[in-house]
Amino acid sequence: MSTQPTPQFDAVDIIRAKRDKRTLTTDEINWVIQAYTDGVVADYQMAALNMAILLNGMTRAEISTWTHAMIESGERMDFSALRFPTSDKHSTGGVGDKITLPLAPLVAVFDVAVPQLSGRGLGHTGGTLDKLESIRGWRAALTNEEMMRQLDTVGAVICQAGSGLAPADRKLYALRDVTGTVEAIPLIASSIMSKKIAEGTGSLVLDVKVGSGAFMKDEANARELARTMVDLGKDAGVNTVALLTNMNTPLGLTVGNALEVRESIEVLAGGGPSDVVDLTVALAVEMLAGAGKHIGEDEVRAALSDGRAMDKWRAMIAAQDGDNDAPLPVAQEQQQILAPETGVLASLDAYDIGVASWRLGAGRARKDDPVQAGAGIELHVKPGDHVTQGQPVMTLHTDTPERFPRALELAQSSFEVSAQAPAHAQQLILDRIS
């Protein structure tokens, strides 16, 4: 909670100021965030202010003040008593993005602690907690003490963010979601960074996704978002870098909760699809460097193939009551989509696959909807692969077959087969912003 008494303002004056493109003062921003958290500023007033911010933008100083006001609305965690440095990763969200699962235990192998406070999926991108909940017994909610203990003993924890962290953001994000103001870069950057700074990590790697399956469809906007977040992190004393990564096609070969856990375990066993392995290793190298450990890519890769990362994973899952040896749920019904002709898979659209998987029951439409652990899509080929007419391109999984027609409609039009390979293979990591 803010300790400084803040002067009184009128919400309408602040809305008018931003509507007329004036820079808001520190006092105005501190007041409006606190007053909104306390219920003094109404939802319709904050909605109008958000829209003015979306249309007219904010200066770097305004974004920084806005972020700090959100941090001050709640508690801050402190990991300084840990015997290891801390490093965290945040992805802006994509289809088949299960990287957190192998990444957290992999980084912990090298004595850097990973405090991953994660969320659930909404819309076409999956949520890390939903994925892990497909493991029998696994518990997302930990107390702060449990989290600290696990960071000290295992070195990695993936759990639900407590409600005390940046409560202003919780309220603001729900409002933005229903008022067409999610896409404002100052609001996205402050929303993500307020939670990460309040979480107390020493260093942070941002995976900013670009492409059809990402928030940011366009590279220039993704770049601006990355730059804004890196600056906010650095200003707050968090060693922050961002990788700009491709999200035009799903990551790996699985989309859906238990399917993605299965693939993550394959990566931890030294196998798995090359794009998932490459991105996991690249992010691990960055997270370790951010925490002061300059470890080469080959050494990091070795921890996946020699079982050290798997040992950490099993310890991390067991510490949260997950049964490592229980079989993962499998959906009751499957349906294959076959290649309509022989050729090369020219494209496979991440957004269409994400929405089709969501229609199969892997995701939720409203915040409290249940998800099906086994639902989703298993891909048998990726862009650039040769296909023969009649060969399976993907398998759809669900417990509720009445969902097949609407999912098939999208999945069938999500890919193209052409006579020859695309001129350029898509690059996975587009840039690094520090």
Nearest residue relative to ligand URA (C-beta)? 191
Question: Is 90 designated active site?
Answer: yes
- Tell the smallest beta-carbon distance from residue 165 to ligand URA (Å): 11
What residue has token string 């400084």?
4
Residue 17 as a binder of ligand URA (CB under 6 A): the answer is: no
Comparison of 223 and 403: residue with beta carbon closer to ligand URA: 223
Q: Are strands 386-387 and 203-210 parallel, antiparallel or unpaired?
A: unpaired
Residue pair 23/65 in contact (Cβ under 8 Å)? The answer is no
Residue 229 as a binder of ligand URA (CB under 6 A): the answer is: no
Strand ranges across the sheet with 386-387: 386-387, 343-348, 415-418
Which one is catalytic: 90, 98, 171, 196? 90
Residue 66 as a binder of ligand URA (CB under 6 A): the answer is: no
Question: 10-28: b or e for each residue (b if 16 or more CB lie within 10 Å)?
Answer: ebeebbebbeeeeebbeeb
Which one is catalytic: 87, 91, 191, 414? 191
Question: DSSP character for 359?
Answer: I
Cα angle: 96, vertex 98, 102; to 5 degrees? 150
Helix intervals (H) in 209-273: 219-235, 257-268
What stretch of H or E contains 148? helix 144-153
Residue 125 as a binder of ligand URA (CB under 6 A): the answer is: no
Which one is catalytic: 89, 195, 223, 301? 195
- Position among 67, 191, 228, 398 found at the interface with ligand URA (CB under 6 A): 191
Question: Is 169 designated active site?
Answer: yes
Comparison of 152 and 219: residue with beta carbon closer to ligand URA: 219
- Position among 188, 251, 258, 300 found at the interface with ligand URA (CB under 6 A): 188
- Tell the smallest beta-carbon distance from residue 324 to ligand URA (Å): 30
Question: Is 176 designated active site?
Answer: yes
Comparison of 191 and 357: residue with beta carbon closer to ligand URA: 191
Each residue 157-186 as x (binds ligand URA by CB under 6 A) or -, in order, gives ----------------x--------x----
Cα angle: 404, vertex 408, 409; to 5 degrees? 125
Compute φ and ψ for 390, nearest 5 degrees. Answer: 90, -10
Residue 192 as a binder of ligand URA (CB under 6 A): the answer is: yes
Compute φ and ψ for 253, nearest 5 degrees. Answer: -115, 5
Comparison of 194 and 372: residue with beta carbon closer to ligand URA: 194
Q: Which two tokens stand for residue 371?
A: 């998800």
Binding site for ligand URA (CB under 6 A): 173, 182, 187-188, 191-192
Which residues does the annotation mark as catalytic?
A: 90, 169, 176, 191, 195
